[in-house]
Each structure stands twice: as C-alpha cells, then as structure tokens.
Amino acid sequence: MKFSYQIQLPLARAQLWDFLMQVDDVAACLEGVDSVKELDSDHYEGRLQVKLGPVTFSFNCSVTVESRDREKWHGKIKTNAKDKRLGGGFSSILTMDLIELSSRESQLDLELESTIFGKIGEYGQPLIRKRIDRMLEGFIKNVKEKAG
C-alpha cells in the first residue's frame, strides 16, 4: 500500500528538518507509540499499539534511518514490526522531502509504502488503509503543533 501527502507548514525548512531528524520527537507525534529506545544514531527499537476493528495489535518495532541528506532535504526511514501475540506485522518505508516555500514556510512531501503480513492482512485493505490514513492525519496535526 502506498500513501502520499503534501503538507504546507508555517516553519522554516531548517527548523522542520531538525525536528524530523529527531526520531523521539517524530515518534511522539504518532498515535499509539508506547516507547522508543535509541540503539545508536540511526537505529531504534520501540513499541506501537494499533487498534484495527475490535482487535488491538502490539508491535515490537525496529526503526532504521536509512538516509539523512540535509543538502537535498531528503530523509528515509525503514520500519519493521511484528506482533508476536496475534501474529502478523508490517514493514514500511517513509520518505520525506522538504521544499522551501518561503523563509517561514515549508512543504513536507511524505510517501509511505507499507507491506502488511499475517493476521493483519485478514482485515482487508480498505480498513487498513482507512486506519493508516487516520494515523498519518494525526501525525501531521501533531507535527504542526510540536515542531513550531
């Protein structure tokens, strides 16, 4: 599944970049993140709880920052997650590009590509897509509030 968003934010590009490169800050903007532990500057582990229909999944996640290219204003984060109790998981790649609109406004282009496997896939793509959309909308709202 692929998701794409373009968000205009009332923040300078450098300020937004600095915020987005702090995995702890970004994690705090995502609903359901239980914990994040830094293993090194590009590797993290954590927990994410997601309610899908009547079932709550609890994912153990590994997060890798694959790219931090400030010169091109491009970042890429890979996540692998598994729910051992119910079975299933997902892998995703989040790509971020920042475009300067003015000295005080930036555009954040997000692209999320996710692969769902196991029991989660039984819920069907429309339900999963709707849930991911809601999570990303909440994430965008929180970035607007916390990055400024």
Q: Encode pLDDT of 12-38 as tens digits.
A: 999 999 999 998 888 889 999 989 999
Domains of the chain: 2-146 (3.30.530.20)
pLDDT for 55: 81
Residue type, 66: E
- CB burial of 116-134 (b: ≥16 within 10 Å; e: otherwise) equals beeebeebeeeebeebbee
The sheet with strand 89-102 has its strands ordered as 2-9, 105-117, 89-102, 74-82, 55-69, 43-52, 33-40
Dihedral over Cα of 142, 111, 57, 20: its sign: negative
pLDDT for 132: 85
For the stretch 103-136, pLDDT in tens is 999 999 999 999 988 877 776 677 888 888 888 8
Confidence of residue 95 (pLDDT cuts 50, 70, 90): very high
pTM: 0.87
- Element spanning 61, H or E: strand 55-69
